[in-house]
Amino acid sequence: MNLLLDTHILLWSLLEPSRLSRRISHELENDDNHLWISPITTWETLLLIEKGRIEIDSDPIDWICEIFSTVPLKEAPLNHEIVIQSRRIQLPHKDPADRFIAATAVIYGLTLVTADERLLISDQYSLLPNK
């Protein structure tokens, strides 16, 4: 399965794995699955660090680069098709990061892994909820 990790799912898997459901933990560890992230997740992560909402023990850029070198993540590049889809997608809120991540799942045909209730209510993409 091709899984697109929402930002909080990636961060929980790295910093607070106990917050992940047993099913999600299993799927993230399953070698048959491919884990994908959007560049928007990198951007959101760096913003969360800058705002002090998550704490790490090293330089944020070095920490991100270390993740990319050790965790088998595939990049789902942001492109014009995703930007256009982000405006078409029906979500109950206007959060641009969520729109880009949801649109990425649609365009690349990835299963979105999330615990965000605002994303879980959509039927426009394949979902794997953290439940």
* E strand residue ranges, the chain: 2-5, 34-37, 73-75, 111-114, 127-129
Q: What is the DSSP letter of 19?
A: G
Q: If pLDDT is split at 50, 70 and 90, which confidence band does 116 have?
A: confident
d(CA 23, CA 9) in angstroms, rounded, equals 13
Query: What are the tens digits of pLDDT across the range 89-103?
Result: 888 777 899 999 999
Instruction: Record the pTM.
Output: 0.90
Q: What is the DSSP letter of 93?
A: S
Q: If pLDDT is split at 50, 70 and 90, which confidence band does 126 have?
A: low
Q: If pLDDT is split at 50, 70 and 90, which confidence band does 46 have?
A: very high
- Domains of the chain: residue spans and CATH: 2-129 (3.40.50.1010)
Q: What is the pLDDT of residue 23?
A: 95
pLDDT, mean over the chain: 91
Q: What is the pLDDT of residue 127?
A: 57
β-pairing, 127-129 with 2-5? Answer: unpaired
d(CA 124, CA 126) in angstroms, rounded, equals 7
In the chain, the N- to C-terminal Cα span, in Å, equals 18
